[in-house]
Structure 1
Amino acid sequence: DPVGNIRYDPSLGGGATWDVGCYAFDVPLWAFGRAPERVRARFHSAGGAPVDTSGVATLEFGDGRVAQIDYGFDYGPCARYELQGTRGWIGVRNAWTGPDEECVITVVTDEGWREEVLPGADAYEHQAAAFAEAVRTGRAPLVSLDDSQRTARVGEALVEAARTGADVSL
């Protein structure tokens, strides 16, 4: 229900792009190890919502590397992604779910396929533990400030692309 839900409050950075889309567009950033060269995006606001409630985007990384993503509040839970390459693909189901759901990773190549099932986990608990470990030991955090800033820049570019209807270069 949007009433009173901070995810629907534009003054608090609400909207599907920042709430759930960030997971979708962060996957190719990690897979390719950098920000895209160009993005395009379209958003939808269901029922007159003051924020985007779903979105689709294309991220172009150059050399034929492209990511296509979709996300939103408008449809049921969907926490999966696929990475496709010239020699196969990797699919991950229940990638961002809680401790009650297993994460299933499927790897398919010319040589066959295999599945790996990981037990459910509390992502927030793991994040807090990793942060505490970094503080305690002085080691660099798993996700650097540069990584976080890169993700934010891509999110801002997607918002701009959806607002203007034009591709945005990074």
Structure 2
Amino acid sequence: MYPLNTKDLHRIFEKLDKNGDGFVSLEELNWLLEKIGVQYSIAELESSVGKPCLDLNEFLLFCKSISENNNCKSKGGHGLDEDGLKDGDHDTNEEDDDLMKAFNVFDINGDGFISCEELKDVLMRLGFLDETCSSGIDCKIMIHVFDTNLDGQLDFEEFKNMMLHTVS
């Protein structure tokens, strides 16, 4: 998966900070988490974060901690549990569930595929593309790179490969 850099997170922070006060409220943070398929109550977020709003540095630390937690989960162990399953088997199922939630965020019309238009719409809503980008050429390129059956859109397996792809 391509990690978000500080510049990307800064843009997301600015989009979330609707009133421009330099803070992201837990409601704004929860909105973002829901958009990417992560469900928390405001009480759970406040318990996790420890305060009612985050400044940019706190937001960056929060994102970093989420990223580190996901990396730890995805590495998994290799022992067997009481069901006889490898630790990694549970992680894979949980990882697939998380990826399916993310896939569903992008699959706006629910047809089981992510089109260029859907990808562009979600990336614009998350602040990765600005409204002036009308051609969607970057989205077409992103889809083309991982579109193994060359149908011009991503199915779940192609999306999964894109999200799990690491740059060496």
Q: Do these two structures clear the TM 0.5 threshold for a shared fold by scoring above it? A: no
- TM-score, length of structure 1 as denominator length: 0.28
- TM-score, length of structure 2 as denominator length: 0.28
- Select the structure that is richer in helix: 2
